Structure 1
Amino acid sequence: MGVFDSVRRGPRTGGDAVREHITQTTGSDDAYVFSYRSLDVHAYVLDQPAPHVLYITFGKSRVSSSQPSAGTQAELTMRVPGSPALPDQWPADLLARAARDEIEPGHYLSLEHPRGTLTGFVFVTDPILGVLDGPTGLIRFTYAVGLAGDDVERMLSWDPLKFAKLVGDRVPLGMTSTNRDALSANPDDRAWLDRVVGVEGSSIGAMHARYLDVDAGGRVDLDPAAARALVRAARHRLLHHRPFALLRGDTWLLLDPHSPTTELADDHIVVPATEAFAHEILAVFDAMPGTYHLRTAPLVIRVLDPAS
């Protein structure tokens, strides 16, 4: 390409670099494009290393710019097995929705409405596309690894990145499927997970609640999903002497085994999460809507369905 060609085309953009990287890595530049309001999702039907469709967002990073920026940008990816004549739209829809949030390796997503056996995702750096150093700076291709059945619950009880590695060891490229069995369907994997989770506990020290409200009288209102997180934390965080917090905006509930005193306020509560407290949560608390009066802490927890 001559000097005049370069001038006519203009400077190389982040989008140019993304396209070139995909072509060099996959050997394909033939993408089917799904267009959304703020970005596109490109789908490539590939034969190697196994037949699959590679979905990649295009526009979460600075694809139209040639100017460097600080920090690491991202594009999201997903792989679905098969060689369809026309790629399915649902993986593109899922990536486009996920791209509205800032997602990094170790983050996870639980589907409110499962698709077949697919119940959620855990995100890692894409094992093939990796990180690109382009004209706008570093662009990480962040890969959605599909989770099936009770994989999400078992992942939250342990460690997202370690669980993603286990899925990658069991499923070629960690591809996403709507009919894969949960890892726990294999007796050996289930026994191994039970053992390692019992030893290591959970790495997740905080979760955002869909609904959470507290007051200085010790009242805690939360939704069923947050209640399930509380039960999970009692078993896999508090009994390992690790703190756990529920957050919603400026409101928070901290259960801390190392806190010497209880702190009650209209926007936050801190509770010394003793072993007795953890065992009481496991014995009497439930994620079903209802009111639960605790004896080991001055709390009244109400599980509410925000939709009702």
Structure 2
Amino acid sequence: MSEEASTAGWDAIDKALRTLYPDQEPKHYGTLISYMLGGPDPLDGISVYDVQEPRPHWHFVTYGFSELYDKESDNKDYSGFGFELTFRLAKEGGEAEPPAWAHNLLQNMGRYVFNSGNVFRPGDYLDANGPICLGSDTLLTALAFTNDPELGLLNTPNGQLEFIQMTGITGDELEAMQIWNTNGLLKSGADYLPYFITDLTRPSVLSREKVAAAVEEGSEKEGSSTGFLYNDQLSWQSGKKGMFRSAAHTLQLGAKQAKIIGKLLRGRILKGRELTLVGPEIRVVFEPGITSELDIQEEKIRLQLDEETVTLLSEQLQPLESSFSLPAFKGLTIQILKTHIKDTEGQIVHTIG
């Protein structure tokens, strides 16, 4: 006789949700074929609740980032990746079913985590490179992650997990989070983002004078909390010495992130903090220093910058295809490449630079 698999992790999530919504049976959307067996969706299920306060919205809760069945990982403290995602989406008039695009978005988050091994934590953000709802004219083109306002930490037989809420943000809100921090921006805009409900029709909270002022003051006083930034166009080409001359080293960056990198250098280096850019095959670490120095290692390039060089470099980092050098780094060329934004089918829909 085969022993049935435990559902202790799943049951613990169900119990937490029954406590929050004692009088509501959720709409549950399960996965027919598990991801491990070749199915397309990594999450085992998504439950959705119809909520009226503080405004009508759908409350999505995932099942699958944590260990839902038997304990398999060696980490006894945390269940699976240690979290489940939630997503609160404003209801449109007369909507009887939660929209399918939100399910697809959450499953895409599952694919990202399962395929990359990267996890989400409160304070994280993610650029979607386009509308979070494909085909819509929403200004929300990125996602921020914070604590769900009603679901907190949960202890399960398989370890602890936390409910992390994903919320849609605009491009300028993303930039504000990068040059300051996610929680600061969300807290400053909380009056206009009740329960951090995603509303596809909303404008940027930075259109509110007090929010924009809080971001300016916070970033100036505290600097940037962004210590790492991924750039898929980041690359390094070492110069080769010839008989009569040597070619310059070349640092390549994508135009899409050039301007924000310049702002981050000001918000990090001028506050005495490092900034690390991570690419497919190389890491570039910018460090504060009294003088400017270049240190070339096998998998890491270290650039120590003085204040004057930080200012010059940040001014040059613009979203335009270009090449330039800096007086402090003779033999180094910095090249900004065009960035091609592609849709889900790989077609170029927008070019920056």
Under a length normalisation based on structure 1, what TM-score does the superposition of the two structures give? 0.88
Contact 1:34 1:92 in 2 (8 A): no
- Match for residue 88 of structure 2 among 79, 86, 89: 79
- Match for residue 203 of structure 1 among 188, 201, 225: 225
The alignment-based identity, stated in percent, is 23
SS of residue paired to 2:189: helix
- Match for residue 238 of structure 1 among 253, 262, 269: 269
2:26 alignment partner in structure 1: 30
SS of residue paired to 2:129: strand
Q: Whole-Å Cα distance in 2 between the matches of residues 184 and 50 of structure 1?
A: 22
Q: Whole-Å Cα distance in 1 between the matches of residues 7 and 77 of structure 2?
A: 19
- Match for residue 95 of structure 1 among 67, 91, 106: 106
Q: Whole-Å Cα distance in 2 between the matches of residues 196 and 243 of structure 1?
A: 19
- Residue 304 of structure 1 pairs with residue 337 of structure 2: yes
Deviation digits for residues 207-251 of structure 1 (CA, Å, limit 9, x no counterpart): 111121113433101222342332122232222232211012451
- Residue 287 of structure 1 pairs with residue 287 of structure 2: no
Contact 1:75 1:140 in 2 (8 A): yes
Contact 1:67 1:135 in 2 (8 A): no
Residues 144-153 or 8-17, more deviating: 8-17
Tell me how far 1:112 sits from its aligned partner: 0.8
Q: Whole-Å Cα distance in 2 between the matches of residues 10 and 275 of structure 1?
A: 60
Q: CA distance change for structure 1 residues 242 and 17 in 2, over 3 Å: closer, same or farther?
A: same
Tell me how far 1:149 sits from its aligned partner: 4.2
2:123 alignment partner in structure 1: 106
Q: Whole-Å Cα distance in 2 between the matches of residues 227 and 126 of structure 1?
A: 33
SS of residue paired to 1:15: helix
Deviation digits for residues 129-171 of structure 1 (CA, Å, limit 9, x no counterpart): 1111112111211111221241111111101222233333431
Q: Whole-Å Cα distance in 1 between the matches of residues 335 and 122 of structure 2?
A: 34
Gaps of 5+ in 1: 1-7
2:176 alignment partner in structure 1: 154
Tell me how far 1:76 sits from its aligned partner: 0.6
SS of residue paired to 1:287: coil
Letter in 2 for 1:70: K
Tell me how far 1:125 sits from its aligned partner: 2.1
Gaps of 5+ in 2: 32-39, 114-118, 133-137, 240-248, 341-350
Q: CA distance change for structure 1 residues 139 and 300 in 2, over 3 Å: closer, same or farther?
A: same
Aligned residues: 301
Deviation digits for residues 243-300 of structure 1 (CA, Å, limit 9, x no counterpart): 2110124511111113763212453321121111111123333221221222232321
Q: CA RMSD in A?
A: 2.4
- Residue 55 of structure 1 pairs with residue 60 of structure 2: yes
1:142-291 aligned at under 5 Å gives the runs 142-217=164-239, 218-258=249-289, 261-265=293-297, 267-291=299-323
